[in-house]
């Protein structure tokens, strides 16, 4: 339908065209172009990292990060039960063991109070994932990792431009990862970045990204990947980064408008506006249906889709993923908050390019369907 409102639409209103034309005019369209390094340096500075290493997407960033940290088979990694499967699969692929914690019902992030109880003699790392616009409460996690000597992996894919107690998300721990998919606050269409402070770790990541080339060329002492991005992608990303502050403000205005329009929405949990450590950037605007609503999120999405409103479901819990169940993992484990929000959570159109009139129409449909 012509008036369909997608769940996300990017906003390309800066120097994207100018920088792309420069790539074309100069012929530098491969990974060797200057925009790659310019973007890496600018983004790293913005998120408080010494080094930034661009890769092909956010999942690739996780893969490379796990490899660069040299986790071994049997090492345990504590992580949220409620997240995208990329986080789980990279742990499994190196033979490490994911150990899950449930979600906070208010922020939808991992419940940090449960993390310490999951520590064993095999724990090697903690992976935090900032979910949907609010960051994980980092202080207890950072303190635990320092005290125990654990590696800290920070997935800030959904938190570009967000801060925790004034410090950029993605600036914590040993390694952090970002995604530049089309729905992120900085997009290249596809793309990712690894943030580190350690020089040796930076060098290892760059080598792994580029097939572990060495001198002489085409002689290899380690297996890596081709995870490079192109100058064209980085050109778009740099233009996006220049407008990041404005994009964050647009998302917060969107969140405030939805909050006003949903003032009388009593049978769904809305995103928290803030916590004592962060203000929501509303990467997406999520809703979790109360039990009084006589259907689940999938049915709500179907009904909204019939009215021309794009939606997406919340993440499905890791321990209930069919591929994981088939592997025999997490038998008998239950994470009730993750299970509930996975079934009754959805998010509505909340991309950077959404207009006020579109927000108003979305809210009207939401109120008709579940209000």
Going along the chain from its start, the domains and CATH numbers come out as 16-102+109-242 (3.40.640.10), 244-370 (3.90.1150.10)
Report in angstroms the alpha-carbon separations of 310 from 9, 109, 247, 302. 11, 24, 21, 9
Residues 63, 89: contact at Cβ < 8 Å? no
Helix locations, the chain, DSSP H: 16-26, 34-46, 58-68, 85-93, 138-148, 199-209, 231-242, 244-261, 297-306, 322-327, 336-344, 356-370
pLDDT over 60 (residue 92): yes
**Mean pLDDT in residue range 327-350:** 97
pLDDT digits (tens, 9 = 90+) for 26-48: 999 999 999 999 999 999 999 99
**Mean pLDDT in residue range 130-149:** 98
pLDDT digits (tens, 9 = 90+) for 1-23: 569 999 999 999 999 999 999 99
pLDDT at residue 85 in the model: 97
pLDDT digits (tens, 9 = 90+) for 283-337: 999 999 999 999 999 999 999 999 999 999 999 999 999 999 999 999 999 999 9
pLDDT at residue 371 in the model: 79
Q: Extract the tokens encoding 195.
A: 């943030």
pLDDT at residue 136 in the model: 98
Average pLDDT, the chain: 97
pLDDT at residue 25 in the model: 96
pLDDT at residue 1 in the model: 52
**Mean pLDDT in residue range 154-169:** 98
pTM of the predicted model, to two decimals?
0.96
């Amino acid at each position: 339908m012509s008036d369909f409102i997608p769940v996300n639409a990017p906003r390309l209103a800066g120097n994207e065209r100018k920088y792309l034309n420069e790539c074309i005019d100069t012929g530098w369209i491969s990974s060797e172009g200057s925009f790659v390094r310019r973007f890496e340096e600018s983004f790293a500075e913005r998120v408080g990292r010494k080094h930034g290493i661009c890769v092909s997407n956010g999942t690739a960033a996780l893969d490379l990060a796990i490899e660069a940290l040299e986790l071994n088979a049997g090492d345990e990694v504590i992580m949220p039960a409620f997240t995208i499967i990329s986080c789980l699969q990279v742990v499994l692929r190196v033979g490490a063991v994911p150990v899950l914690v449930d979600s906070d019902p208010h922020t939808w992030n991992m419940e940090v109070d449960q993390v310490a109880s999951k520590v064993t003699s095999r724990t090697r790392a903690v992976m935090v994932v900032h979910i949907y616009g609010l960051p994980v409460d980092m202080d207890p996690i950072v303190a635990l990792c320092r005290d125990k000597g654990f590696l800290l992996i920070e997935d800030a894919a959904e938190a570009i431009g967000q801060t925790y107690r004034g410090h950029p998300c993605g600036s914590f721990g040993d390694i952090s990862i970002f995604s530049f998919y089309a729905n992120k606050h900085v997009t290249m269409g596809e793309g990712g970045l690894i943030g580190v402070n350690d020089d040796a770790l930076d060098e290892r990541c760059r080598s792994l990204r580029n097939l572990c080339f060495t001198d002489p060329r085409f002689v290899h002492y380690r297996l890596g990947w081709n995870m490079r991005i192109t100058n064209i992608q980085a050109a778009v990303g740099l233009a996006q980064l220049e407008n990041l502050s404005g994009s964050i403000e647009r998302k917060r205005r969107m969140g405030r408008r939805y909050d006003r329009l949903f003032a009388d929405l009593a049978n769904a949990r809305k995103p928290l506006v803030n916590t004592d450590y962060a203000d929501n950037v509303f990467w997406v605007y999520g809703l979790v249906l109360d039990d009084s609503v006589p259907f689940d999120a999938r049915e709500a999405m179907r009904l909204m889709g019939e009215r021309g409103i794009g939606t997406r479901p919340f993440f499905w819990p890791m321990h209930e993923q069919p591929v994981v169940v088939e592997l025999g993992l997490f038998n008998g484990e239950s994470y009730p908050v993750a299970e509930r929000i996975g079934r009754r959570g959805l998010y509505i159109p909340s991309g950077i390019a959404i207009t006020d009139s579109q927000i108003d129409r979305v809210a009207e449909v939401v109120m008709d369907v579940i209000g």
